[in-house]
Amino acid sequence: MRTLLTILLVAATGLGLLFFGRRVLKGVEPARTVPVLTPSPKPLDLTPNPNPTPGVPEPEGSAAADLRAEILDWNQQALDALDRGEILRAMELLQRCVEANPDDPVLARNLALARLRQAGLMIDSADLEERVAALELVENVLDALEGDEREAVAARIERWRARADHEGSFFSSGNRRFELSYDGEQQGLRASETDLLDRLDKAYQEFGERLGAFPLEGNRLRVVLYSPEAFTRLTGLGHWAGGAFDGTIRVPIRTGGIDSRLDSVLRHELTHAFVARLGGGSTPAWLNEGLAQFLEERQVSSLRLKAAKLSCRGAPWPSLTSLGTNFSTLGDETAIRRAYAISLGFTAYLADNYGEELVLDLMRAGATGSSPEVVFRRQIGFDLGAAWEDMRQNWLQH
Ligand SMILES: [Zn+2]
């Protein structure tokens, strides 16, 4: 019995189920962890422009025309480099373009977006210097942007700054896989540090063995603990959220005593980190959230699946496609709750009928440029949609 543990996970259910009747509900209540937030490495939906503003036509062969052609070529090379994920190379080429033609707004915007993309990769680094460098990198990017695009980027950078400010005085500790950050003044956290890292390590080892990959080696993952108030403010998520993963695992923790569900929240978010690193960035939400819930415990209990099924009773059956994108777009909390329940149900159904390995192969499909549908058809011999329909019949009958 670990008497030192005095952390209490924040009340994480919108219906207040966490505290009263917790014993009864343990393992039944679907984790109220939130959908994966927009992964930071993605440059929002901003695409650099391939066509710098044409300048005044110059007589062919003139020095200015030669330079213009060269700039166009550098710009194109930069866009190609971005496509290949070579962001530093793209930044170097675009920097050259902007130095040669400082007045071209398209070139300035392209450089700004490349910097934003690079900063997005660095902002979740376990290395504090990298995170500081990320903020420096985006210092002037807003100058090159306009309108809605400027607003969206400003909001994103503001969120990064607010987190950095808040976490500036945080304690940090860690091992070769995780960097744990938390408010050292918060009661109980320092005493629980080793225990938390231990829990993360255990889950990591288990997942690594089950998934056949250990993606954090040489690439540590940040885990940040917040007070419930700070979590809400810094993530913009409701008080009901149990945790979030956006490149960093973020968990709200309340002082007072450790909650029995902390393990499942850490396991849930850690699954998202595995999926982010192994799934090729295109894993559909139903599979990402389904797997994250499936792995919250070593084995999903039949009681929990029953509760998931019950929560969907009488509700319209969604299409698998409609569950492909972030659940937060589904609208009300009931719809989101059902989306989680049905995703867990389908993941468990697939694992039960075709094996856990098949589910993991579906998750890894994106990394090879394929999709869950293609992998399922190739391995099982019929459409994933037919399995979805079969589960629907099953859920309606029982
Ligand atoms: Zn989740």
CB contact set of 124 (below 8 Å; sequence gap of 6+): 40, 131, 222, 246, 247, 248
How far is ligand 1, taken at its centre, from the CA of residue 66, in Å? 53
Separation of CA 149 and ligand 1 centre (Å): 27
Q: How far is ligand 1, taken at its centre, from the CA of residue 116, in Å? A: 25
Among 5, 2, 1, CA closest to 188:
5
* Spacing, Cα 172 to ligand 1 middle (Å): 25
Q: What is the Å distance from ligand 1's center to 158 Cα?
A: 24
CATH number at residue 81: 1.25.40
Residue 295's pLDDT is 96
CA of 74 to the centre of ligand 1 (A): 41
pTM of the model: 0.80
| Gap between the Cα atoms of 112 and 95, Å rounded | 10
Gap from CA of 223 to ligand 1 centroid (Å): 15
> How many angstroms is it from 360 CA to the middle of ligand 1?
16
Please report whether residue 40 resides in a domain: no
**What is the domain extent for residue 360?**
279-398
Q: Which two tokens stand for residue 24?
A: 């009864």
Tell me, yes or no, whether 319 lies in a domain: yes
- Please name the amino acid found at residue 290: G
- Asked, for residue 32, whether it belongs to a domain, the answer is no
In a domain, 246, yes or no: no
Rounded to the nearest angstrom, the gap between the alpha carbon of residue 149 and the centroid of all alpha carbons in its chain is 21
Instruction: Using DSSP, state whether 37 is helix, strand or coil.
Output: coil
Calpha distance 291→385 (Å, rounded): 18
- State in Å: Cα 267 to ligand 1 middle: 10
Centre of ligand 1 to C-alpha 35, Å, is: 5
Instruction: Assess if residue 175 is contained within a domain.
Output: no
What pLDDT score does 55 carry? 58
How far is ligand 1, taken at its centre, from the CA of residue 31, in Å? Answer: 8
CA proximity to 105, closest of 156, 155, 147: 147
CA of 160 from ligand 1 middle (Å) equals 21
Residue 18 maps to a domain: no
C-alpha of residue 145 to centroid of ligand 1, in Å: 32
CB 265 within 8 A of CB 257: no
pLDDT the model gives residue 60? 63
Q: How far is the CA of 395 from the centre of ligand 1 (A)?
A: 23
Task: From 166, 191, 216, give the residue that closes a domain.
Answer: 166
116 and 141 in contact (C-beta within 8 Å)?
A: yes
- Find the 63 Cα to ligand 1 centroid distance in Å: 56
Q: How far is the CA of 12 from the centre of ligand 1 (A)?
A: 13
Q: Dihedral through CA 328, CA 334, CA 338, CA 341, nearest 10?
A: 90
For every one of its 398 residues, what pLDDT tens digit does the chain have, with 9 covering 90 and above? 333 333 333 323 222 222 222 222 222 233 444 444 333 333 355 678 777 776 555 556 688 888 888 899 999 999 999 988 899 999 999 999 999 999 999 999 999 999 999 999 899 888 899 999 999 999 999 999 999 999 999 999 999 999 999 999 899 988 999 999 998 777 777 888 888 899 999 999 999 999 999 998 888 999 999 988 899 899 887 766 789 999 999 998 876 545 667 889 999 999 999 999 999 989 999 999 999 999 999 999 999 999 999 998 888 889 999 999 988 778 778 888 899 999 999 999 999 999 999 999 999 999 999 999 999 999 999 999 999 999 999 888 76
- Measure the CA dihedral 200/38/85/157, to 10°: -100
Strand 171-174, strand 178-182: pairing: antiparallel
Strands (E), the chain: 7-9, 171-174, 178-182, 221-226, 244-245, 249-255
Q: How many structural domains are present in the chain?
A: 2
**Could you identify the residue written with the tokens 């005593």?**
257
Of 166, 200, 235, which marks where a domain is finished?
166
Residue 117's pLDDT is what? 93
Is residue 180 within 8 Å of 172, Cβ to Cβ?
yes
44: CA distance to ligand 1 center in Å?
A: 20
Ligand 1 centroid – CA 27 distance (Å): 16
In terms of Cα–Cα distance, which of 71, 67, 89 is closest to 80? 89
Distance between Cα 85 and ligand 1 center (Å): 26
The pLDDT assigned to 259 comes to: 67
Question: 152 is written with which tokens?
Answer: 């969206």
Tokens of 31: 């984790």
* Residue 186, domain member (yes or no): no
Give the span between the Cα atoms of 358 and 197, in whole angstroms: 30
**Is residue 130 in a domain?**
yes
* Angle value at C-alpha 329, between 229 and 46, nearest 5 degrees: 95
> Which of these three, 166, 193, 215, is where a domain ends?
166
For ligand 1, the distance from its centroid to the CA atom of residue 341, given in whole angstroms, is 12
